[in-house]
Structure 1
């Protein structure tokens, strides 16, 4: 059994290392020289997946969600990225151990029903939307051949039943700069 990874490399994907002395990230492949990935973490992840796309093996949904959160999500709006991180925790909890190739539409329906029973039907819809987007990217990355989530009926959502009144808005404006 090999030794444990150092603290600065513990949260990095397989093959990626951080060189403290040079303050640079590298891809270490067996039998090759180290490939320089960049100085910043975001640059390193972009280059890592460009180089490692040939060797990237997605064994579980956790790997796939992790790749999406590190490669795609940071390029979105900050609030969307935070929402993706929050939703991904629930997805990893339920789907993290699964192989993406065996995921089917009935798994999505089971998940939506479960979130409905947990009194979070709208949040379940948002989490399913993220899962569907991740699976679309999985097709793009060559992990799966086709996304299984075409035509899924989501949980019903209730629109707002009232509008904000002028009095409520006036009270709110007092506390705003």
Structure 2
């Protein structure tokens, strides 16, 4: 891992990239200096120019080449769109840390140092996700004989503390009382359908079928039709009824222009809602948008297998992780009374 720069703002720059007098410069190990781009360029532009310069100074056995090759492979393209998007996000940090290294030179200790540093910056969960992505890349490399070993194997994931928050009915009542129509519609659909926010944000009125609401999960690619109920119909039609003069193909749309909401745009509205509730009631709500899916699965009446089917989970452990409402079970006393009766 490289040492910290004198200017803390430069810590996000790729390795061996520095600010010159009028441009960002890449100083190769061979001593040659490459002008990358102007100093006012965005970080993404800097990284793109860096990768191009690295191609000119290194052989095809670097981790950067390996990652780029994997992201163009059929194996990668078979992954879900959400996973592909995540891997492209992880790519920046992985190339910054390992891009210049020969694929056969990466050791488990290098991976361990990387995830420890990443955990300090972004938390254990993000560190583990980056490590998993790198492990997949190297597993692919081993198959295609571009690496003899997978340096991620044997490096334990960092401990993650599972979320335990269950949104109470009283808390949800506060949300519904103070929420704007946009936030209320999305959270209601999330709760009723056990859906992720990104899947509701992309939902269109064309997804409304006779038998229910069609949802294709971006993370698992599972397709389902959620049966209609009066409350779900009301949530889907809420913005259309509230803003009758706005035409949009999306169920959740911007009242000003009918366009689709971005995740960051909706996150801002949700943060404003929590601040509004705090100012009005003095209560600080400690839950996230994603906790509404956990409330949905927790409140669903049925067995764990039925909850799994309704949530569209690919394995039962996912469902268990979302089950946060305490389960009522018998005691020694009541179990005997049941046998007597």
State the TM-score, normalizing by the size of structure 2. 0.33
Deviations 1:31-82 (A, max 9, x none): xxxxxxxxxxxxxxxxxxxxxxxxxx73210100001111132221110100
Written as runs of structure 1 = structure 2, the 5 A alignment for 1:99-118 is 99-118=102-121
Partner of 1:59: 61
Mapped pair 1:146 → 2:156: no
TM-superposed deviation, 1:137: 0.4
Mapped pair 1:174 → 2:184: yes
TM-superposed deviation, 1:162: 1.1
TM-align CA RMSD: 2.2
CA contact (8 A) 2:76 2:84 kept: yes
Deviations 1:68-111 (A, max 9, x none): 11113222111010001001111011111110000010001100
Partner of 1:97: 100
State the TM-score, normalizing by the size of structure 1. 0.62
Partner of 2:70: 68
Unaligned runs of 5+ residues in structure 1 are 1-56
TM-superposed deviation, 1:153: 1.4
Q: Aligned equivalents of 1:77 and 1:137: distance in 2? A: 17
Written as runs of structure 1 = structure 2, the 5 A alignment for 1:156-171 is 156-166=159-169, 167-168=171-172, 171=176
CA contact (8 A) 1:58 1:143 kept: no
Tell me which of the two structures has the higher relative contact order, counting C-alpha pairs closer than 8 angstroms and 6 or more residues apart. 1
Q: Aligned equivalents of 1:95 and 1:146: distance in 2? A: 15
Which SS does the other structure have where 1:100 is aligned? Answer: coil
Note closer, same or farther for the CA distance 1:157–1:142 as it changes in structure 2 (3 Å cut).
same
TM-superposed deviation, 1:152: 1.2
CA contact (8 A) 1:62 1:95 kept: yes
Which SS does the other structure have where 2:66 is aligned? Answer: helix
Mapped pair 1:81 → 2:84: yes
Q: Aligned equivalents of 1:90 and 1:148: distance in 2? A: 17
Between Structure 1 and Structure 2, whose CA radius of gyration is higher? 2
Q: Aligned equivalents of 1:59 and 1:152: distance in 2? A: 23
TM-superposed deviation, 1:112: 1.1
Q: Aligned equivalents of 1:109 and 1:119: distance in 2? A: 15
